[in-house]
Structures are given as structure tokens and as C-alpha cells.
Structure 1
Amino acid sequence: MEYKFKKYDISSPNIKNKTYSFGIDYDTLRQEEETLFEINSHAWTPQSIQELIETCTNVEGENTIDYQVDHGNLGLIIDKDEVAFFNLLESEKETEDFTWSIDKFINFLNDFKKFVEQNS
């Protein structure tokens, strides 16, 4: 695993049933990929990650998929070859923050899914 995943407790201190956000440890990210921190969300489940993996593997031809992380601030544009990452908090930006090959992104998602499965 190239990235350090993290489970964040986002509950109020007096709440018995804890709520967690799953994502990336910000301090472990390279500066050029800091936008990846915006993948953090309490809505991630192994099933939702698997659905995103399947979406990525089913893109064909010149088609693209626009994806926004539920309850997160990460936007993605996915095509059959690569994924462009956008920090949605920086709405004035018109270009992607960085790109990955589709294979690298799918490998990342598989590792992330394992982490969420083990920590849910």
C-alpha cells in the first residue's frame, strides 16, 4: 500500500454511537497530491468503493464519468485511461490538480476498500 489510510472519529464527544470518516492521512501525502485528502468521507463503505471500481472498469471509448465523493470535496473525471482529480473547495480552478492512470486509481481503490472492510 503506497498511501496511509486513516479512520477519523468525527463524532461529538458526548455521543455513544461513534461516526467515522475514512480517507487518507494528510501528513503522508506528497504536496502535488494533497487534493487526495478530500476523498475523506463518512459515507464510504466497501460496497460503495466496489461500485466506483466497477464504474472505472466499465468506461469505454471517449466516454467520461464525472464523480463526486459523497459528503466529501473531491471531484473526479474518469475516462478509460486516466482519472483527473479536483479539489471542489477550490472552485475557481479550471484545471485538474493531478492525474493518475486508471490502473493506479483502481489499485488505490482496492487497497482503500480493504482498509474500510478491516476498520468498519
Structure 2
Amino acid sequence: MKYQFKKEITNPPRNSSARPLVEFGVKVFDKNIEALEQIEWHGWTPSEVQMIIDKSKALRGNQVYNYQVSGSDLSIHIYPEEVYFFDWRTEREEEDFKWSFNEFIDFMEQFKKFIKENS
């Protein structure tokens, strides 16, 4: 297993009326895809993930869909054949890692399911 989905809950201070902060993300077990841990965000919803899937599947030819994970240094550049992940905290100019388009869509479908089941 290269990664495992996770849900983290941060409770507000006791005297606060704020709601707990829930973040969805990934725990990575493969150093080659370490940048994927930057996908963690409190704004993930099944509909947000589905929007990424839909926009990705609509790509044709040399089109690219760039997705910046809000509040993160992770940028995902999606092409019809391959998907490139860039963690802007690293000093590398090239991608931190890349996946095939199908591998990315499979990941996103699983991520969406995890979020839906844990929301």
C-alpha cells in the first residue's frame, strides 16, 4: 500500500463556540509520492472531488487542468494522459511525481468515497 486516506479532527478551545475542524487527507507510505500528503484540506467535499474528476475527464488533446489545493503548496497539473504533482515547498523544478490519468482518476474516486463515508 502506497497511501491511506485519513480524517483528522481538531477541536476548538473549550471556551470557544467554534465547531471542530475536520480535514481529509492522505498518509503516505511511499517516499516517492510524499508530496501527496499536501492534499490535506478542511474544504474537501464529495462534490469538490467530483468537479475535479469531471473537469479532468473533459480534457482533450493538449489541454491541461491545473488544480491548486486550497491552503496548501500542492498543485496538480492534469493532462489527458498523465497527471503531475508539484509541492512548491520542495526545491525541485520538475514535478515531485506523476501518475497516469487512470491512476489519478481511480485515486480521486476512492478519495471521494472516503470523504462521503466519513462526513
Please say whether Structure 1 and Structure 2 have the same fold, judged by a TM-score greater than 0.5: yes
Partner in structure 2 of residue 113 of structure 1: 112
Partner in structure 2 of residue 55 of structure 1: 55
Which of 1 and 2 has greater Rg?
2
Aligned residues: 117
Partner in structure 2 of residue 73 of structure 1: 73
Question: Residue type of the partner of 2:97?
Answer: F
Name the TM-score, length of structure 2 as normaliser: 0.89
Native 8 Å contact 1:43 1:71 kept in 2: no
Greater strand share, structure number: 2
Two-structure CA RMSD over aligned residues (Å): 1.7
Task: Report how far residue 19 of structure 1 moved.
Answer: 1.1
CA distance in 2, matches of 1:44, 1:3: 18
Bigger shift: residues 15-24 or 40-49: 15-24
Native 8 Å contact 2:3 2:30 kept in 1: no
Bigger shift: residues 36-45 or 68-77: 68-77
Matched, 1:93 2:95: no
Q: Secondary structure at the match of 1:4?
A: strand
Task: Report how far residue 9 of structure 1 moved.
Answer: 1.5
**How far does the alpha carbon of each residue in 1:29-62 deviate from its partner, in whole angstroms, 9 at most, with x for none?**
2000000000000010000000000111011101
Name the TM-score, length of structure 1 as normaliser: 0.89
Question: Residue type of the partner of 1:99?
Answer: K
CA distance in 1, matches of 2:78, 2:52: 10
| Structure 1 unmatched ranges of 5 or more | none
Q: Secondary structure at the match of 2:38?
A: helix
**Structure 1 residue ranges, 4+ long, deviating more than 4 angstroms after superposition:** none
CA distance in 2, matches of 1:73, 1:103: 23
